[in-house]
Structure 1
Amino acid sequence: MSTPVTTWYLEQTAPEDLRPASAPALPGVRVERAEVPSGELGRFLYTAVGGDVSWTDRLPWPAGQWQTHLERPGSELWVAYERGTPAGYIELDAQDAADGAVVEIAYFGLLPAFRGRGIGGHLLSYGTARAWDLAGRWAGRPETRRVWVHTCSLDGPYALGNYQRRGFRVTHTTVSH
């Protein structure tokens, strides 16, 4: 019998919903966009962040699929660094829905050695603020109407709380067996 997995779907519906975290007290923490789409970088970050929390859906992707995915319009990869070392990332995916532009935070997390040090709240705040700006510009609409994300009980123990502290609200929950 498998252990049930709970998935929480969360959203913000206005830029004012964002409650930014304080910048980490650590020296040399910065967030930068990976402006040149790189499938190799995307795969590295995905496996380095998700390896111990059961991220498996993209593991079968060949190199070309990673590259094509990151080259899509509306896709952005932002990387947090601590003194030059990659600490984590956030992947944004702008989508043009019938009722307005939305952005999904497709993936977000930190490498294990960087968790619990204040970098995650800062990176999520930075990425969410960018998400509010991204979709409206990408889709040629005046504004983004929604930023959403999902997390599950297999993710890190602080994931759900971090989203909620940043102002995301749970819209619904599912349990799979």
Structure 2
Amino acid sequence: MPQVTVTYLQQLNSSEVIASAKSLPEDARIELVQQITPEYSRFLYQSVGSELNWADRLGLTREQWNDVLRRAGSETWVLYQHGAPQGYVELVTEVTENGSEVEIFYFGLFPEATGRGLGGVLLTEALQQAWSIDSHWQQLPKVNRVWLHTCSLDGPAALPNYEARGLKIHRSELEQTEVKDASIGLWPAAAG
């Protein structure tokens, strides 16, 4: 089983967010998906994660997937350009004794959208929305931490983008992991 480096990053104050120097193109928008369905969430997850070996959710039932999406403080924000999704972020909130902690649970761009400066813009929006999630969900206490983790299987721009937006590494560890083929089920195999 191969070893993977897992890196945990965090912000402890909204003032730590460093906005992207780029702005969203005129033909693009970032939008909260109201009442997201498990089907749309799975489409986003597989479209972004199929080349990055995201497979942890593929074994979930529709009901289990829906349960995650319906938790207080769970939000999905999608970057659209030319009317089509180009990337997304899923925020998941945990209430602790110190307040709300928001995890950027999934973040990424569709393969054809990488390398165009969209990741920094989407991450800036994700961080701003994470820090204000307690204003969207009145039952949640004030946000005191926003965090995420990445690993050495992610794209080469992931960690530099996170650090450029003001997230700071607070822990790294080596893990043995079974690398699964996340593209299974995305497209049927070609007949031949």
TM-score range, shorter chain: over 0.9
Conserved 8 A contact 2:73-2:140: no
Conserved 8 A contact 2:130-2:146: yes
| Cα distance, 1:65 vs structure 2 | 1.8
Q: Secondary structure at the match of 1:164?
A: helix
Identity of aligned residues (%): 40
Paired residue for 1:89?
88
| TM-score normalised by structure 1 residue count | 0.93
Unaligned runs of 5+ in 1: none
1:68-116 per-position Cα deviation (integer Å, ceiling 9, x unaligned):
2211111000000111110010000111101211100000000100011
Paired residue for 1:105?
104
| TM-score normalised by structure 2 residue count | 0.86
* Counterpart code for 2:34: E
| Cα distance, 1:48 vs structure 2 | 0.5
Aligned residues: 175
Deviates more, 1:78-87 or 1:15-24: 15-24
| Cα distance, 1:11 vs structure 2 | 0.2
Q: Secondary structure at the match of 1:120?
A: helix
Cα distance in 2 for residues equivalent to 1:170 and 1:135: 24
Deviates more, 1:110-119 or 1:20-29: 20-29
State yes or no: 1:61 paired with 2:64: no
Paired residue for 1:160?
159
Task: Choose 1 or 2 for highest CA Rg.
Answer: 2
Paired residue for 1:8?
7
| Alignment root-mean-square deviation, CA | 1.4
* Counterpart code for 1:50: G
Conserved 8 A contact 2:18-2:164: yes
* Counterpart code for 1:167: G
Conserved 8 A contact 1:49-1:109: yes
Paired residue for 1:44?
43
| Cα distance, 1:63 vs structure 2 | 1.7
Deviates more, 1:109-118 or 1:25-34: 25-34
Deviates more, 1:116-125 or 1:57-66: 57-66
